[in-house]
């Protein structure tokens, strides 16, 4: 068969040469060892943690090496596409502090290696598809869905591998150019298939995380272009990562099984394959076992969840870095003040078994991350979140900026600083007692303080002796004196030893005071809180009880 003729028949409108296309995408001039990475999400409308997980690796690897990190939209499956999904994705990545050097942008493209949306690169794919046809490496296939189903049934019955290959490809492969032309003229649909070679050989690929992968080579006549002329992921990824000059392809481990096809295509097109890095699947613990995170069951798979919950983007990054590099936590302890971007990210420290997404771990990392932030930064980020998710609180903290900053700082300068805030959402709850507008009694006073007469007596005495400017020692001496007078033990251990001799201990007394002032049993230091509240508020809250 004259493959050049076939190429013209199939792609009459494709007139550029591969060389012309190559020239449009020049080899990048970058420092030696600089990495070019990307994420290639599909615009399905659902941005998941896995997108950010791979973005964190790509961003670190590229920027750490003085390279380029870009965004490519893989929108070859129009059935899965949702309107506005690209904007949602870009906004989410921005929110989480992922910065792209080039790629798809909300209003078009940024960079010279575009278009960065695969749906706009059709002509480019066709040039290379035509080249493969011209070289006898690809052919049109007119098998109908019914015919393919029949083949699959036969393969299942014979316990053979499913797919179009070897003898199952014969019918399409043996068409003459005249028959092909007739079919096309008759309006029959066709896909373009790669002409696979039946082989027993193995391919050997060095994965950046997994080391050497040995796999059976490809022998499938897999689809390059679908009947609408749109490429499959396999073909588009190879063409794009070559032309956009990616040095590393960081993607989920679910793609490992297609690797032989991709390697075969790189070879067929005469291109050097990038370094692959197949990342571990996100998992969670359940009933003592591990399972894959599921879109249906696990809200924490959606990136929007972290935004809605008000988890600081920095906390999400540090959480992912902890999942991704086994030495991150150790590094953080040794460099408590450093920016996480200073951490030397490495493929070598990546785990290949599933990455455990543990919300308790995230909360604890988040507390540390917020603990390290300045009060002003906490205020700004919290306010930014409140403006979107809690207008009432946005109003409060803008009405009382100084009080809010002082409240944020309570307990943060101690030798063992308090780490009360784990998310902006939780901060709206935890900090609510500082504002009269949101102050409520959440907890009940302890049994030892349930007697009304006793309570009244305590508050009357406390208010009477209260001097807002007392220092910590004087203040505490006064509390101790009242405690003793009311028949409570000043030393908790005395009460423990001889519970019958006391009505309770100083712990019950301060707990009562804390609840009166903050509405809750678990709140920061009473004296510090009193100073943020101001004398008038303190007296008002205490007066209610006397
Ligand atoms: N569009 C692919 C996905 O969403 C991207 C895989 C890749 O990064 O090459 O899984």
Q: How many angstroms does the Cα of residue 42 sit away from the middle of ligand 1? A: 7
pLDDT in tens, 266-288: 999 999 999 999 999 999 999 88
Determine if ligand 1 sits within 6 Å of the CB of residue 249: yes
Question: What average pLDDT does this structure show over 447-452?
Answer: 87
At residue 252, the pLDDT reads: 95
Structure tokens at 523: 């709140």
Q: How many angstroms does the Cα of residue 118 sit away from the middle of ligand 1? A: 12
At residue 528, the pLDDT reads: 93
Question: What average pLDDT does this structure show over 470-481?
Answer: 94
Is residue 525 packed enough to be buried (19+ CB in 10 Å), middle (13-18) or exposed (0-12)?
middle
Could you tell me the domains of the chain?
Answer: 3-15+122-278 (3.40.50.620), 373-434 (no CATH), 447-543 (1.10.10)
Are 11 and 133 a contacting pair, CB within 8 Å?
yes
Q: How many angstroms does the Cα of residue 71 sit away from the middle of ligand 1? A: 11
d(CA 179, CA 63): 53
pLDDT above 90 for 450: no
pLDDT above 90 for 377: yes
- Number of neighbouring beta carbons within 10 Å of residue 107: 8
Find residue 536's DSSP bridge partners. Answer: none
pLDDT in tens, 510-528: 999 999 999 999 999 999 9
pLDDT above 80 for 81: no
Q: What are the backbone angles phi and psi of residue 312, rounded to the nearest 5°?
A: -60, 135
At residue 448, the pLDDT reads: 87
pLDDT above 80 for 78: no
Determine if ligand 1 sits within 6 Å of the CB of residue 74: yes
Q: Collapse the DSSP code of 36 into the 3-class scheme (helix H, G, I; strand E, B; otherwise coil) and give the result.
A: strand
Per the prediction, the chain carries an average pLDDT of: 95
CA 226 to chain centre: 31
Q: What are the backbone angles phi and psi of residue 75, rounded to the nearest 5°?
A: -105, 50
Determine if ligand 1 sits within 6 Å of the CB of residue 237: yes
d(CA 188, CA 182): 9
Question: What average pLDDT does this structure show over 130-151?
Answer: 97
pLDDT above 80 for 415: yes
pLDDT in tens, 258-268: 999 999 999 99
């Amino acid at each position: 068969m004259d493959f050049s003729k076939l190429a013209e028949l199939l792609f009459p409108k494709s007139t550029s040469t591969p060389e012309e296309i190559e020239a449009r995408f020049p080899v990048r001039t970058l420092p030696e060892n600089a990495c070019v990475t990307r994420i290639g999400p599909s615009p399905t409308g659902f941005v998941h943690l896995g997108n950010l997980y791979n973005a964190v690796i790509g961003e670190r690897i590229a920027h750490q090496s003085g390279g380029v990190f870009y965004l490519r939209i893989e929108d070859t499956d129009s059935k899965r596409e949702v309107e506005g999904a690209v904007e949602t994705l870009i906004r989410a990545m921005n929110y989480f502090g992922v910065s792209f050097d080039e790629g798809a942008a909300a209003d078009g493209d940024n960079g010279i290696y575009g278009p960065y949306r695969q749906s706009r690169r059709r002509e480019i794919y066709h040039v290379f598809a035509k080249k493969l046809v011209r070289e006898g490496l690809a052919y049109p296939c007119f098998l109908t869905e019914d015919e393919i189903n029949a083949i699959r049934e036969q393969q299942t019955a014979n316990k053979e591998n499913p797919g179009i290959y070897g003898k199952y490809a014969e019918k399409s492969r043996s068409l003459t150019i005249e028959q092909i032309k007739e079919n096309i003229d008759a309006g029959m649909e066709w896909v373009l298939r790669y002409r696979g070679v039946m082989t027993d050989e193995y391919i050997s690929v060095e994965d950046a995380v997994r080391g050497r992968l040995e796999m059976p080579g490809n022998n499938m006549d897999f689809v390059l272009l679908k009947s609408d002329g749109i490429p499959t992921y396999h073909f588009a990824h190879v063409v794009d990562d070559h032309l956009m000059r990616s040095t590393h392809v960081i993607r989920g481990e679910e793609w490992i099984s297609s690797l032989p096809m991709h390697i075969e295509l790189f070879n067929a097109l005469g291109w050097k394959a990038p370094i692959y890095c197949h990342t571990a699947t996100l998992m969670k613990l359940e009933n003592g076992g591990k399972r894959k995170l599921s879109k249906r069951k696990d809200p924490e798979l959606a990136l929007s969840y972290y935004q809605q919950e008000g988890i600081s983007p920095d906390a999400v990054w540090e959480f992912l870095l902890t999942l991704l590099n086994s030495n991150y936590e150790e590094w953080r302890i040794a460099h408590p003040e450093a920016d996480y971007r200073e951490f030397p990210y490495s493929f070598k420290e990546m785990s290949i078994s599933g990455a455990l997404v543990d919300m308790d771990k995230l909360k604890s990392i988040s507390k540390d991350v917020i603990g390290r932030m300045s009060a002003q930064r906490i205020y700004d980020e919290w306010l930014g979140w409140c403006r979107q998710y809690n207008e009432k609180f946005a109003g409060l903290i803008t009405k009382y900026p100084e009080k809010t900053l002082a409240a944020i700082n309570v307990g943060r300068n101690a030798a063992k600083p308090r780490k009360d805030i784990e998310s902006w959402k939780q901060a709206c709850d935890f900090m609510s007692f500082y504002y009269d507008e949101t102050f409520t009694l959440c907890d009940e006073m302890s049994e030892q303080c349930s007697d009304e007469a006793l309570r009244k007596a305590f508050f009357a005495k406390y208010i009477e002796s209260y001097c807002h400017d007392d220092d910590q020692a004087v203040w505490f001496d006064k509390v101790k004196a009242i405690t003793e007078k009311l028949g409570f033990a000043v030393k908790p251990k005395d009460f423990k030893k001889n519970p019958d001799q006391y009505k309770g201990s100083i712990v019950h007394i301060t707990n009562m005071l804390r609840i009166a002032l903050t509405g809750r049993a678990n709140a920061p230091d009473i004296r510090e809180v009193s100073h943020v509240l101001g004398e008038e508020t303190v007296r008002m809250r205490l007066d209610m009880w006397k």
